[in-house]
Structure 1
Amino acid sequence: MSPSSPSEKPDLGELQVSHHERRQHGSDKTAEKDRIDAIAEAPGTTMASFAHLDEKKILRKMDMRLIPMLALLYLLSFLDRGNIGNAKIEGLQDDLGMTPDQYNWCLTVFFFPYAFFEVPSNLLLKKFRPSRWLPMIMVAWGTVMTLMGIVQNYEGLLAARIFLGVAEAGLYPGCAYYLTMWYCRHEIQLRQAMFFSAASIAGAFSGLLAFAISKMDGVGNLEGWRWIFILEGMVTVLVAVAAFFCLYDFPETATFLTEEERAFVVFRLKYGQQKDSDVEERHVAVAESEQFQWKYVWDAFKDWQIWLNIIVYWGIVCPLYGISLFLPSIVNNLGYKSSTAQLMTVPIYVTAAVLAVIVAYVSDRVGKRSPFVIFFLLMMVVGFAMCISTTNPKVVYGGVFVAACAIYPAFPGNIAWLSNNLAGSYKRSAGMAIQIGVGNLGGAMASNFYRQKDSPHYTLGHGLELGFVVAGIVAAAILLTAYGAINKKRAKSMNQQEDLQFSHEQLADQGDKAVTFRYIY
């Protein structure tokens, strides 16, 4: 394809090439990316230069090409890490001769490599390109999942869960970061929720699939729980192969957009991030194009807001994993048989998925994150309090329902809240990986909250979840107060024109610490 001038408006068909052809010309893709960047950076280019383009139509194009595939990847990821809970009530623990503590260890060890490998994975994502890196790690965890179906003892299952954690580490932080390379920060939560809601759909599918697959008990002389791992792992590998050809990398090389549309997407990411604000962000936006330096990673590790946000994250992710790993057992121990317990998890997850998308849409429209995050943390308090306060199975089920319906809207809101407040693509990449990586150590803790000896009421587990939720509320309140104070201080500095002592390049290098940057709260 020959280069076009900025004024030309090539037809989409002229620019469309197959995904296979794009892979054959890596150098051409680099040249194309540089050319689109040059158009977006051309002197005199403003948002008005693209006024004739239909922004909503472009966003719909992006949504249709990006979100369904990401949602499918995450659905399979969450399905594969959580289906051990379904396998347990189909006989996994008894068949492998494991004690309750050994089973909990199999849940726990997943999270240590999962947390450790998230930062390096996010850095590798940009180097190897999303269309290669994400399917590659997907093939790895699908293979591990399939092999889990043939383990013969506790040690085999423990090793498989460790390798599953290594392989899955890069998917969620990679997808969450990947979306920030396409959408402005006032649009990101809806897209985060659209693909994260796949986690709740995975919960629903997990119960339905486990109910159906368990009927294969005895086929090939294998127990029903083994077929849960084998079949779901094989599906993951097949989808991963398709993902190599269906994922797009970056807006600059997206063939489903015209050249002018690509330039517009790049420009709005750099200079159109601030919604309903008179703050000029053109200065700091250049940080989105920086070359990799280790200082950006170090800046992320030193940033106070990331570590405080992790406490909020724990307040959400501990209940998330507590619910996803133990919901079948919790319902089963309320007196329902295993097949009924599998099916009773479905309406909880479906409701949570719908609510997550609706709340994300409203949050993006009003441009606020913290009010929704804090509200749903309070809703979790109500849910777990219901579980603790009674032994009535219907009330406990209702409490779990309320808690789950709060967890799934709160999670993408918290991810979007931090990503909105990190500037500079490499710092954001590292910061989001730290948040999700260290935050997911909460899953290691939650894996031990619901002990078999505490059944059927699990008072200790529900109480520990409640404690983490309260800690999350406190941390969110501190973040909210700090962001407000910092924004006021920077606004005052702007009014006094103190920012003029910095060049545009210096402001860009400061990223979210620049006087021109405003935290979203």
Structure 2
Amino acid sequence: MSEVDRTSTADPSAGGEKPTGNSPSGAVGVGPPLEQVDGSDPDEALKLVAARQGEAIVWTPKEERRLLRKIDRHLMPFLCIVYGLNYLDKTTLSYASVMGIKTDIHLVGQDYSWIASMFYFGYLVWEWPTNRLLQRLPLAKYSAFNVIMWGLMLCCLAAVKDFKGAMVVRFFLGVFEAAVSPGFALFTSQWYTKKEQGMRVAWWFSFNGWGQIVGGFVAYGIAVRTERHPILVKSWQLVFLVTGFFTAFMGVLFLCFMPDNQLNARFLTQEERVMAVERIRVNQQGVGNKHFKWYQCREALTDPMIWAFALYSLISSIPNGGMSNYFSQLIVSFGFSETQSLLLGAPGGAVQVVTLLVAGHFGDRLQSRILCGAAGVLLGALGLSLILCLPLENSTGRLMGYYLYYTMATGFVTLLGLISTNVAGWTKKTTAAAMYLVAYCIGNIIGPQVFQSTDAPRYRNANIVALVCTCVAFTIFIFINFWCRRQNKVKAAIRSLPTYTKADGQEFLDLTDRENPEFIYSL
């Protein structure tokens, strides 16, 4: 097998030089010419690359595949399991809603909806600060701290006695869970090449579905067991304690074994660390920069692509916020018992797992991640239409529609992956992630309020709102596909200019996607 010669050509002082290049006047969506870009604050990876100045880094494709498998073995189990717990911990409230919590803590009217929404108020308040801390602090250590704390917060829900107590705990649960999605997007972007990222995001996000599957069986087992053999705590309290303590335990393991980046990965040799950095040069993104750059923040706030991401997140999260907190009650409205609803929610998770993995595989293979994500959104709209249009007595058909709704997750995952892939510049990336997840919070705050107690048990109005939101979300996907294709053509025109010159070490200068003509948007 032929060898591939990978050589670090960056000068140790390259960060202080300003790359050269030209940009055609009037280029829409492209940043300033490279000669105007400040390269004095490069990416952390440049330190490692510069230390090997002049030394050829050679490896075979077989060695690179072996390294990739090693990275997957050490990173993916933690990312997958913790992200599954992230979803399970949010939705334990839905299981508790049919296990007696509403009666035991005296909830009336819209109290339950406000408790469901309060999680996202905490998420919203802390989303921007937590993204700044993800950039500033060691990524794995800060993420682990949040995992441990949200597990302990979940345990505290078992002790609430009234509406006020539940509101306070749910708020802080949202605060600590705010770090997981943007943090995991950063992990993915710093360890994997663009062509690998879509599938990896699909892997760890698909564990939302596994969380729902496992959660349904755990809640069912606890409900049946405590009904036959009563203990000192109620069944809904035990669900919170079991999931909360296990989450905190996983947070401790995350703290002990998850590296912050390639530079301190103990499972890699020194040579493998260099290879792990060199192989992601093609991303034009580096592995991280801890300094906040206002110009990158401003660029994120004026980028139509980022705003399209945020608008999609807002619109699609309205049905998500309702469904994730009301799915047990919705299944009961189809004509099934409360205990049956705990088990019947599990297949929805299985649908999510399968569709995410299928969309991730074909999105990468066909280089059409955006269109595969849009297809999942359309299937979700079909599922909501079945819930709305089928007669009440057709319980099975409406349940199938509910399961089909879970294909909607492909859209959210696709755009979360595109923040990792299509947004460069560490400050811009964290700002984009914050905007995306702030919009996610607002949508999830609105979602439970759409489910009015006066509309129970069918919640017809809520389902109509969800269907409209899903259709709007699909049109946003079409715009994003158009925009990325247009920007790739503009960048190709820049690279074709006779005066264009690519700077040494340009991949590690912490340039944004609009600044860097070498950057190509994934579709």
What is the TM-score with the length of structure 2 in the denominator? 0.84
Matching residue of 1:402:
404
Taking the aligned partners of 1:301 and 1:236, their CA distance within structure 2 comes to 35
Provide the residue aligned with 1:293 in structure 2: 293
Give the aligned partner of residue 375 of structure 2.
Answer: 375
| 1:231 has 2:242 as partner | yes
Shift of 1:68: 0.7
8 Å contact kept, 2:157–2:240: yes
User: Which amino acid counterpart does residue 227 of structure 1 have in structure 2?
Assistant: L
Cα distance in structure 2, aligned partners of 1:87 and 1:202: 15
Question: Which residue of the partner structure matches residue 37 of structure 1?
Answer: 49
Other-structure match for 2:519? 517
Q: Distance in 2 between matches of 1:139 and 1:311?
A: 31
Partner of 1:362 in structure 2? 362
Provide Cα deviations, 1:21-44, integer angstroms capped at 9, x if missing partner: xxxxxxxxxxx977633356x347
Asked whether 1:423 is paired with 2:424, we answer: yes
Deviation at 1:146, TM superposition (A): 0.8
- Aligned residue number for residue 452 of structure 1: 453
- Kept in 2, the 8 Å contact 1:288–1:423? The answer is no
1:244-255 to structure 2, matched below 5 A, reads: 244-255=255-266
Asked if the contact 2:93–2:325 (Cα under 8 Å) also holds between the matched residues in 1, the reply is yes
Kept after mapping to 1: 8 A contact 2:119/2:170: yes
Distance in structure 1 (CA, Å) of the matches to 2:271 and 2:448: 49
Alpha-carbon distance in structure 2 between the residues aligned to 1:320 and 1:502:
45
Residue 215 of structure 2 corresponds to 206
Q: In the alignment, is residue 186 of structure 1 matched against residue 195 of structure 2?
A: yes
Give the corresponding residue for 2:441. Answer: 440
Give the whole-Å Cα distance in 2 for the aligned partners of 1:398 and 1:99. 30
The Cα of 1:350 is off from its aligned counterpart by: 1.6
CA contact (8 A) 2:382 2:401 kept: yes
Instruction: Give the Å deviation of 1:50.
Output: 2.9
The secondary structure found in structure 2 opposite 1:222 is coil
CA distance in 1, matches of 2:165, 2:188: 36
CA distance in 1 between partners of 2:342 and 2:194 (Å): 38
Q: Deviations over 1:335-390 (max 9, x none)?
A: 21111111111122123212312321221223322111111111111111111112
Query: Which residue in the other structure is 2:233 paired with?
Result: 222
Aligned to 1:155: 164
Preserved contact between residue 220 and residue 343 of structure 2 (Cα < 8 Å)? yes
Structure 2 counterpart of 1:464: 465
Report the Cα distance in structure 1 between the residues aligned to 2:481 and 2:398, rounded to whole angstroms: 33
Q: Offset of 1:504 from its aligned partner?
A: 7.8
Q: For the residues of structure 1 that align with 2:420 and 2:298, how far apart are their CA atoms? A: 17
User: For 2:102 and 2:300, how far apart are their aligned partners in 1?
Assistant: 41
SS at match of 1:312: helix
Q: Which has the higher helix share?
A: 1
Residue of structure 2 in register with 1:86 after alignment: 95
Q: Is the 8 A contact 1:319 1:407 kept in 2?
A: no
Give the aligned partner of residue 70 of structure 1. 79
Deviation at 1:149, TM superposition (A): 0.6
Query: Structure 1's 505 and 254: CA in aligned 2 closer, same or farther, altered over 3 A?
Result: closer
CA distance in 2, matches of 1:84, 1:440: 17
- Counterparts in 2 of 1:290 and 1:326: CA distance versus 1, 3 Å: closer
Compared CA separation, residues 35 and 173, structure 1 to 2 (3 A): closer
**Deviation readout 1:70-107 (Å, 9 max, x if unpaired):** 11111222111111010011111122111130110011
CA distance in 2, matches of 1:233, 1:408: 24
Structure 2 Cα separation of the partners of residues 510 and 71 of structure 1:
30
Structure 2 residue identity aligned to 1:412? V
Change (3 A) 1:345 1:501: closer
Measure, in 1, the Cα distance between the counterparts of 2:371 and 2:341. Answer: 34
- Extract unaligned runs of 5+ from structure 2: 1-5, 8-43
Cα distance change of structure 1 residues 88 and 438 upon mapping to structure 2, 3 Å threshold: same
8 A contact 1:316–1:377 mirrored in 2: no
Whichever residue aligns with residue 146 of structure 1, its letter is C
Tell me the distance in 2 between the aligned counterparts of 1:161 and 1:490: 46
SS state at 2:193 partner? coil
1:484 aligned partner, one-letter code: R
- Structure 2 CA distance for partners of 1:501 and 1:327, relative to 1, 3 Å: closer
Counterpart residue number, 1:137 = 146
Residues 208-357 of structure 1 aligned to structure 2 (within 5 Å):
208-214=217-223, 215-216=225-226, 219-269=230-280, 271-273=281-283, 285=285, 291-357=291-357
Q: Give secondary structure in 1 for the equivalent of 2:191.
A: coil
2:449 alignment partner, SS class = coil
**Residues 45 and 301 of structure 1, relative CA distance in 2, 3 Å threshold:** farther
Q: CA–CA distance in 1 between the matches of 2:105 and 2:351?
A: 35
Q: Which residue of 1 aligns with 2:178?
A: 169
Find the aligned partners of 2:353 and 2:63 in 1 and give their Cα distance: 29
Q: In the alignment, is residue 413 of structure 1 matched against residue 414 of structure 2?
A: yes
- In 1: Cα distance, 2:200 partner to 2:514 partner: 26
* Secondary structure of residue in 1 paired with 2:368: coil
Does the Cα contact within 8 Å between 1:207 and 1:343 map onto a contact in 2? yes
CA distance in 2, matches of 1:35, 1:151: 50
- Using a 3 Å threshold, how does the CA distance of structure 1 residues 286 and 451 change in structure 2: closer, same or farther? closer
Deviations 1:116-150 (A, max 9, x none): 32232132124331332112112211121111111
Question: For each residue in 1:288-334, what CA deviation from the matched residue of structure 2 results, as whole angstroms up to 9, or x when unmatched?
Answer: 65844333333323322111112222344333333322111111121
Which residue type is aligned with residue 514 of structure 2?
K
Aligned-partner Cα distance in 2 for 1:179–1:285: 12
Return the offset for 1:212. 1.5
Q: What amino acid sits opposite 1:91 in the alignment?
A: G
Task: Return the letter of the residue paired with 2:480.
Answer: L
Calculate the TM-score normalised by the size of structure 1. 0.85
CA contact under 8 A between 1:377 and 1:473: conserved in structure 2? Answer: yes
Distance 2:240 2:339 in 1: 17
Is this contact kept in 1: 2:313–2:439, CA < 8 A?
no
Assess, with a 3 A threshold, how the Cα gap between structure 1 residues 507 and 305 changes in structure 2: closer, same or farther.
farther
Q: Give a deviation string over 1:489-513, Cα, whole Å, max 9, x none.
A: 2322332336459998699565211
Give SS of 2:206's match: helix
Q: Which moved more, 1:136-145 or 1:408-417?
A: 408-417
For the residues of structure 2 that align with 1:448 and 1:247, how far apart are their CA atoms? 38
* Correspondence 1:478 to 2:479: yes
CA contact (8 A) 1:177 1:432 kept: no
For the aligned residues, what is the CA RMSD?
2.7
